[in-house]
């Protein structure tokens, strides 16, 4: 690995996240919080559980940030070429287009990420905290990471508050608890951000839409010409498809099925 590769944005962001995670955990253990009290009382199950949750959230973060989010192959395989030809022959004229950067035929719901310089299937957004795209392959893990991270943050927030004793004089309190108070403020900020992110992504998952589609639906060809979300199949099926991949099928097929249903509805109304 070249020396300058160690200073790449991805390495710096992931290293910063790891250092910050263990730094906050260390502060919670070193101060007079509930963690210290549990240790002194010999109740090691809760501190060990907290440590395991912190480790699990960190591993999940690294998994989401390092994995392939669902890149579209620049050089399509023979089977993919056949699939693209079949997709292009669908009578409903699905508005596929060729990426002007990658020069690949983008599947439905794919988008080019300028930061990653690749087209991503079911593109949701590019996460600067992950330094990676969130797409078809890692979006479920991203939601799971947000849920686990929120549990850790809220627990850490409680632990930090348990160590803040305001009965001391201001100067003495600042020297003894200033770092813990700063940690409490930082955890409060992160908890708020994680809560908002998790709530928004659960809403998007429940309606089978993405952040990009939700924000830019007026600019997306395959959504502009439809009065409603063509991929929404109800809460149960949306959740089953997102987390379990069931029912399987291409987005092009769902789009075409929705078009047929709308045409049938219009004909019956006439």
User: Domain spans of the chain?
Assistant: 7-69+123-269
Neighbours of 137 (CB within 10 A): 17
**What three-state secondary structure class fits 163?**
coil
Report the pLDDT value the prediction gives residue 236, as an integer from 0 to 100.
94
DSSP character for 4?
Answer: G
Residue 257, burial from CB neighbour count under 10 angstroms (0-12, 13-18, 19+): middle
Please tell me which residue, 146 or 263, carries the higher pLDDT value: 146
Q: Is the pTM of this model over 0.95?
A: no
- Mean pLDDT over residues 115-132, rounded? 95
Q: To the nearest 10°, report the CA torsion of 25, 29, 30, 35.
A: 150
Dihedrals phi, psi of 157, to nearest 5 degrees: -65, -40
Q: CB within 8 A of 21, min separation 6: which ones?
A: 54, 57, 58
pLDDT in tens, 210-239: 999 999 988 898 888 777 888 999 999 999
Please state at what angle helix 170-206 crosses helix 139-162, rounded to 10 degrees.
160
> Is pLDDT at 145 greater than 50 in this prediction?
yes
Report the pLDDT value the prediction gives residue 94, as an integer from 0 to 100.
67
How many residues are recorded in the chain? Answer: 270
pLDDT band (50, 70, 90) for residue 85: very low
Closest listed residue to residue 195, CA positions, set 160, 158, 147: 147
- Mean pLDDT over residues 132-155, rounded? 98
pLDDT in tens, 166-224: 777 877 778 888 999 999 999 999 999 999 999 999 999 999 999 999 999 888 988 88
What are the catalytic residues? 127
């Amino acid at each position: 690995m070249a020396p300058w590769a160690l200073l790449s944005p991805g390495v710096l962001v992931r290293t910063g996240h790891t250092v910050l995670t263990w730094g906050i955990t260390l502060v919670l253990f070193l101060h007079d919080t509930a963690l210290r009290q549990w240790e002194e009382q010999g109740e090691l199950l809760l501190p060990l559980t907290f440590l395991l949750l912190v480790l699990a959230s960190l591993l999940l973060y690294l998994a989401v940030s390092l994995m392939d989010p669902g890149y579209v192959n620049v050089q399509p395989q023979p089977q993919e070429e056949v699939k693209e030809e079949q997709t292009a022959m669908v009578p409903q004229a699905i508005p596929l287009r060729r990426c002007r950067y990658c020069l690949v035929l983008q599947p439905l719901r794919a988008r080019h990420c300028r930061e990653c310089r690749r087209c991503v299937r079911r593109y949701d957004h590019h996460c600067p905290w992950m330094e990676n795209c969130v797409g078809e392959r890692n979006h479920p893990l991203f939601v799971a990471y947000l849920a686990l991270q929120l549990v850790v943050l809220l627990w850490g927030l409680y632990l930090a508050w348990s160590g803040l004793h305001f009965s001391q004089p201001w100067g003495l309190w600042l020297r003894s608890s200033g770092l813990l108070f700063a940690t409490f403020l930082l955890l409060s900020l992160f908890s708020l951000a994680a809560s908002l992110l998790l709530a928004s992504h659960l809403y998007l998952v429940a309606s089978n839409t993405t952040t990009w589609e939700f924000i830019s639906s007026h600019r997306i060809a395959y959504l502009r010409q439809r009065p409603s979300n063509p991929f929404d199949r109800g809460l149960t099926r949306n959740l089953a498809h997102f987390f379990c991949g069931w029912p399987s099928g291409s987005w092009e097929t769902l789009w075409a099925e929705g078009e047929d249903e709308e045409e049938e509805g219009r004909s019956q109304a006439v």
